[in-house]
Amino acid sequence: MSDTTARALSLLNLLQSHRHWSAPELARRLGVTVRTVRRDVGRLRDLGYRIDSAPGAFGGYRLEAGASLPPLLLSDEEAVAIAIGLRLVAAGRLARGAEFALSVLAKLEQVLPARLRRRVRAFGPEPGTAGRDGAATDVLVDLALACRDRERVRLRYRPGGGEEQERRVEPHTLVPAGGDWYLVCWDLDRADWRTFRADRLAAVEHLRVGSTPRVLSPRQVDEFVTVARTWSPGVPDAAAIVDMPLADFQAALGEWAKGATAEGPERTRWPVGGASARDIAYGLSWLPAGTPYRVELPEADRAELRALLARTADALDR
């Protein structure tokens, strides 16, 4: 194999492993000049690979879906079988590995020719169909790529019962939970972490700008997703008025303080939702110990909650 051919294959491997590369970084990794990179990109284009280029300080190269498969030595049937198998995992048909299967599926579908993508989508399940409404495959694949490459994106988001919003975010992690996919990301306009359910995303636009490195522990990611699944911005069933400034309350409860608002300089209003008095009692149990608070809720729910707590106190006294 000639040096030119080996270098072209190395370049193709780099383009497949990351969504966007700058020309100087490619040159550094290959040990050549930027001019040589430009020539090798031209050779790959002549072989049928679609390589998009952008000029300027944030410019560079990225591999797009083209007319032929990368040199994986796979037949059309083998490529389709692999993609369908990955979709089975990503659709939640297996207990573990959905997020990793989606990441591999994103890499494969990124370069599958259109004729093979149509076959995969005709026979393979959509990764989002295990959820309530189902997230579009293109949306999930784009999110997986953005998380992998730490690339900013613009989302078109439809909150439950609300009007469509446009959000600029830095994706961090894509998490399957309860038959749905959730995107944990840094919201650039809110300057805070946010979690979006993927089936409520209408479109994902890649901005071709890198994300600021931010670290979340697995516990924090789980907490973000749990809160997103259980908290609703609708009319709450109850509210706790806590004798604690909003900033202190948010520091004490973390992501669970979602929905809290200032009730004057020294108090915080915290909505507590639930299908029954038991749910409300459970929510109130998370309030910081030793901090006075009062509860606002309808009289019927108040009577039920009072009776529940009385039975509990009586049981403890026995």
Of the candidates 67, 71, 53, the one whose C-alpha atom is nearest the C-alpha of residue 13 is 71
Count of positions (residues) in the chain = 318
Mean model confidence pLDDT for the chain: 78
In angstroms, the CA 202 to CA 288 distance is 39
Does 92 or 248 have the greater pLDDT score? 248
Determine the pLDDT at residue 305. 84
* 131 confidence band (pLDDT: 50, 70, 90): very low
DSSP 147-216: HHHTEEEEEEE--TTS--EEEEEEEEEEEEETTEEEEEEEETTTTEEEEEEGGGEEEEEEEEEEPPP---
Query: How high is the pLDDT of residue 73?
Result: 42
Task: For strands 261-262 and 268-272, give the pairing.
Answer: antiparallel
Predicted pLDDT at 129: 46
Cross-strand bridge partners of residue 241: 269, 294
Percent of the chain with pLDDT over 70: 74
The single residue listed with the structure tokens 């959820």 is: 131
Mean pLDDT of 277-291: 82
Q: Cβ(79)–Cβ(42) under 8 Å? A: no
d(CA 187, CA 193): 6
Under DSSP, is residue 98 helix (H, G, I), strand (E, B) or coil?
Answer: helix
Predicted TM-score of the model (pTM) = 0.53
Which residues touch 220 (CB under 8 Å, ≥6 apart)?
Answer: 255
pLDDT at 127 exceeding the cut of 60:
no
